Structure 1
Amino acid sequence: MTAGFRVTDRVGVIDEGEVLYAATLPRGPIVVLEGTAALVWREACSGPADTLVERITPLVDAGSIDIAGSVTTFMEDLVARGLLERT
């Protein structure tokens, strides 16, 4: 299987559709993801990392070149915070 991302064992997630809440348990902080941020989180956890930008591009009406850097930076931040990890 191709590498992707998953929620770490010490993180709780509540997905309300429009908004996604993630927190390192037991004390947080709580991270609130809305709109595109929530979309990127969901896509990151549902498929291979190497196609993440391509899967998101048609959903946000942007070119992959336009969003690639932002998606990479965002994913690096989520991993650095301990919310997601590479599989």
Structure 2
Amino acid sequence: MSYAVPARLAHLRVDGAQPVVYVAPLPDGPPVVLQGSAARIWLAATDPDTGTTAAAVAAGVAAAVGTKPEQITADVDAFLTELVNAGLLEVRP
């Protein structure tokens, strides 16, 4: 299972000391601001260069924040589920 940006989701990434991602379902969904770890998870889940599976997302985020993937895997998995349920990510087989 992997993750992808839904076809009708607008998104804008703002780089800085902490990443920020603005996402909004089109045409009339409310905008959502993802900051810090939330933004890192969304960005990792939508980056085909690093892999978009839950394990790859956890590994990418762990590397970015200087921790071990096994220490954050459960939290990353839970947040990925929240993003899918909110329509901000989609699951692909």
Say if 2:66 is the partner of 1:68.
no
- After TM superposition, the runs of 4+ consecutive aligned structure 1 residues lying more than 6 A away are none
Q: TM-score, normalised by structure 2?
A: 0.80
Task: State how far apart, in whole Å, the 1-side matches of 2:23 and 2:56 are.
Answer: 23
Task: State how far apart, in whole Å, the 1-side matches of 2:40 and 2:46 are.
Answer: 10
Is this contact kept in 2: 1:4–1:45, CA < 8 A? no
Flag structure 1 segments of 5+ consecutive residues without an equivalent: none
- The structural deviation recorded for 1:53 is 1.1
Q: TM-score, normalised by structure 1?
A: 0.85
Aligned residue-pair number: 85
Matches within 5 A, 1:22-33: 22-33=23-34
Computed over aligned residues only, the root mean square deviation of the Cα atoms, in angstroms, reads: 1.4
Higher RCO (C-alpha under 8 Å, 6+ residues apart): 1
Matches within 5 A, 1:3-82: 3-17=1-15, 18-46=19-47, 47-49=51-53, 50-82=55-87
